[in-house]
Amino acid sequence: MKTRTDENLEEVSFDEFDEIMNPRSDEQDFDRVVGNAVSRRGFLKSTVVFGGISALGSVLIPDALLAAEDRFTFDSIPTNDLDTITLPEGYESEVLVKWGDPIWSKGVDFDHATRGTGESQAMAFGDNNDGMDIFPFEDKLLLVVNNEYTNRKIIWGNRPEGKAESDDDIVKGKLAHGVSVLEIRLTDGQWSIVKDSPFNRRITPDTEVNLTGPAAGHELLKTAADPTGTVSKGTWNNCGNGRTPWGTYLACEENFNGYFSASSEEYELSAEQKRYGISTKDWGYGWSKVDDRFNIEKHPNEAHRAGYIVEIDPSNPNSVPKKRTALGRFKHENAEVVINADGRVVVYMGDDERGEFIYRYVSNGVYAPGGDTDSLLDDGKLYVAKFHDNGAGEWLELSKESTGMNSMAEICVYTRMAGSQVGATTMDRPEWVAANPHSAEVYCALTNNKNRGIKPNKGGDLTPVGGANPRKDNKYGQIVRWRPNGGDHTATGFAWDLFVIAGNPAVHQDDRAGSANVHKGNMFNSPDGIKFDSNGMLWVQTDGKYTNEGDFEGQGNNQMLLADPVSGEIRRFLVGPKECEVTGLSWSPDRRTMFVGIQHPGEKGNSHWPEGGEATPRSAIITIRRTDGGIVG
């Protein structure tokens, strides 16, 4: 049989590759996957079918829990395409903080005419809030939130062409990126940010950060500005997040590539640069015009210093953030931290690109509350996931031996290549990973993948249809879950199934209708942010198509749903304003307020949320509470 490396992708069609590489049996067919996968009962059925998967018995939920108990506190709401937040009866929301709101009193209020300046932005909440978490510290509450990116037509919407016209426009955009740390407070029933709190902080693409772990100091990380390869500047395009039990925040660098450009379009890109999407042109941000390090022709190693997970201590405003290279370099979505029963720290991570992989990090040391935690995210092993079509899976270690690469440093910089070397499973764009706090099981949102079954990933790895990625040209996405063997998050093996396959049963009757727990009243596309609440219920946020037409007719704006992992039931909880993504989720310590991120309302120019009228649309964090003061998760 021909192997993948024998093939020239230009000459052979994908389907031919698919046949050569992944001969399909009846067991790989879609109905079988759906039949096995869509509910807890389905999961159990699949474990019976694949009885060879050992040790599952120890993590099965008792039969009593499988009873159809209603664990929801609201009725599913209809979808809509309104320019507002819609919630079930008995819930209300308010805006906590919006892009451009000053967080120090020396800042100025957002100016809708100019949309701010570099100077005003430096004093203000960043744009496009995404992952977030709340950290109680002493008697304070510290909200840490990513400001992922900017939309040209919004941040430069004051310019006729929606493009930067001056260096200051570019600087304004740059400073709208990074991470915001905000003290927040509930006073007389009203949440607000505490202006001038000593904990308030903006971490921007210019803030000093350290590089730690296996790649720190390696040749690949050395630059003209930093010959040591250990001190970098800033973080940007932070998407989802994580939190550690030792009180730190993890900001995850995702589409870091789109900020680099070359002086000349003739600049020849390396295979590594191409794999990571580095190009001679940036995505319109223009940073190389004001900051030479974003010119890859002059400073090719600068791009090696982005694409990491950044650990931030919100309790110390002077702390230097640390890029933890041991967790690999790719388009990090979020970082789900689990403390294994033996105390080792396990971090699950997705690489959000078509046909990229899911990863796991396992620390060598163990976490002890109050003990030293500084090496826990530097010293460990990195793995990548292989999902077999029969419902079993395994974690493949990325080592010098398994990858044939020269060093762990190289593996931590060119992690995607390492994953390809060991034959990891190409996934349908892994977004957030969430671990159930009540059971050893982990979920990952696979948002969509128009290339599934059509094109390989950027490294030439095939994207065959089947297994955890069962649909060609996957428009709607799915959520895969796995249970580590023996309930041990460090185990090599796991069993997986699909918790939900999103679709549109109003429009399609084939596999595009989705799994049995999707119906006309709860349908959605492109699951992205997922997080468990304290009750073990799974919140699902969407970043999908909001045309409300064609394949997406009846699905309305992006939304947030709640899923019961035991029964498989899914209900719609929130509908966002026009052209937004719903992303980022946290709770107050008493669980009576939920914080939800609304990102880029009006990204195509059709929203004035949240202020209405003719106002500039602004990404914002909202608070959601029950009118009866009850728990919201």
Q: Cβ(433)–Cβ(447) under 8 Å?
A: no
Residue 424 host element (H or E): none
Q: Give the shortest CB-447-to-Ca ion separation in angstroms.
A: 5
Determine, following the binding rule CB under 6 A, whether residue 335 of this chain makes contact with ligand FEO. no
Q: Give the shortest CB-330-to-ligand FEO separation in angstroms.
A: 11
Determine, following the binding rule CB under 5 A, whether residue 543 of this chain makes contact with Ca ion. yes
Q: Which is nearer to Ca ion, 183 or 282 (CB)?
A: 282
**What is 488-529 written as a DSSP string?**
-TT-SEEEEEEEEE---TTT-SSGGG--TT--TTT--S-EEE
Q: Give the shortest CB-593-to-ligand FEO separation in angstroms.
A: 24
3-class DSSP state of 133:
strand
Residue window 223-252: x/- pattern of binding to ligand FEO, with contact defined by CB under 6 A:
----------------x-------------
Q: Give the shortest CB-474-to-Ca ion separation in angstroms.
A: 13
Q: Which is nearer to ligand FEO, 256 or 573 (CB)?
A: 256
Determine, following the binding rule CB under 6 A, whether residue 352 of this chain makes contact with ligand FEO. yes
Give the pair of three-digit tokens for residue 257: 């590539």
Given ligand FEO, Ca ion, none, residue 581, with its beta carbon under 5 to 8 Å by kind, binds: Ca ion
Determine, following the binding rule CB under 6 A, whether residue 333 of this chain makes contact with ligand FEO. yes
Determine, following the binding rule CB under 5 A, whether residue 528 of this chain makes contact with Ca ion. yes
Q: Which is nearer to Ca ion, 392 or 560 (CB)?
A: 560
Q: Cβ(523)–Cβ(508) under 8 Å?
A: no
The Cα 233–Cα 248 span in angstroms is 19
**Cβ-Cβ contacts under 8 Å for 595 (sequence gap 6 or more):** 96, 132, 134, 143, 584, 585, 586, 587, 588, 621, 622, 623, 624
The Cα 151–Cα 283 span in angstroms is 10
Q: Which is nearer to Ca ion, 220 or 582 (CB)?
A: 582
The Cα 630–Cα 592 span in angstroms is 6
Residue window 143-182: x/- pattern of binding to ligand FEO, with contact defined by CB under 6 A:
-----x----------------------------------
The Cα 70–Cα 422 span in angstroms is 43
Per CB under 5 A, the segment of 23-31, 185-193, 221-229, 540-548 that binds Ca ion is 540-548
Determine, following the binding rule CB under 5 A, whether residue 441 of this chain makes contact with Ca ion. no
Determine, following the binding rule CB under 5 A, whether residue 410 of this chain makes contact with Ca ion. no
Q: Cβ(417)–Cβ(459) under 8 Å?
A: yes
Give the pair of three-digit tokens for residue 463: 């994207």
Beta-carbon count within 10 A of 497 CB: 23
Given ligand FEO, Ca ion, none, residue 254, with its beta carbon under 5 to 8 Å by kind, binds: ligand FEO
Q: Give the shortest CB-445-to-Ca ion separation in angstroms.
A: 8
Determine, following the binding rule CB under 5 A, whether residue 581 of this chain makes contact with Ca ion. yes
Q: Give the shortest CB-340-to-Ca ion separation in angstroms.
A: 26
Determine, following the binding rule CB under 6 A, whether residue 431 of this chain makes contact with ligand FEO. yes
Determine, following the binding rule CB under 6 A, whether residue 356 of this chain makes contact with ligand FEO. no
589: alpha, beta or left? (left if phi > 0; alpha if psi -120 to 50): alpha
β-pair type (208-212, 322-324): parallel
Determine, following the binding rule CB under 6 A, whether residue 603 of this chain makes contact with ligand FEO. no
- Binding residues for ligand FEO, per CB under 6 A? 148, 239, 254, 333, 352, 431
